């Protein structure tokens, strides 16, 4: 967010393409107005859910914990922002 604010303060929004990571409510206005061009969404909810499922499988069924577990990141754009949990109205 400090970089986003610095870009706006210097009136460089739209001239500098910002690509961020993750998504949280404070970022949404900047995505909507184009200060942030895109964000790489790592889905923290799914990360936690997957970790718990792996742990429960290990503890209850003895399923070995995998060395790696890959999750596909998403790309958040102004056009698909509404599809992400963090952008939902509460």
pLDDT per residue over 15-51, tens digit each? 999 999 999 899 999 999 999 999 999 988 999 999 9
Sorting pLDDT into bands at 50, 70 and 90, what band is 90? low
pLDDT value at residue 88? 78
Residue 14 has pLDDT above 90, yes or no: no
Q: Give all domains of the chain, ordered by start, each with its CATH number.
A: 2-87 (3.40.50.2300)
22: closest CA among 69, 88, 87? 87
Provide the mean pLDDT of the chain.
Answer: 92
Q: Rounded to two decimals, what is the model's pTM?
A: 0.77
Sorting pLDDT into bands at 50, 70 and 90, what band is 4? very high
Residue 52 has pLDDT above 80, yes or no: yes
35: closest CA among 2, 64, 65, 62? 2
């Amino acid at each position: 967010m400090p970089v986003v604010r610095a870009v706006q303060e210097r009136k460089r929004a739209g001239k500098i393409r910002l690509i961020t990571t993750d998504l949280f409510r404070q970022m949404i206005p900047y995505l909507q107005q184009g200060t942030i061009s895109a964000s790489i969404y790592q889905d923290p909810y799914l990360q936690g859910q997957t970790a718990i499922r792996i742990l429960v499988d290990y503890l209850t069924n003895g399923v070995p914990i995998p060395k790696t577990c890959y999750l596909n990141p998403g790309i958040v754009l102004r056009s698909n922002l509404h599809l992400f949990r963090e952008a939902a109205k509460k």
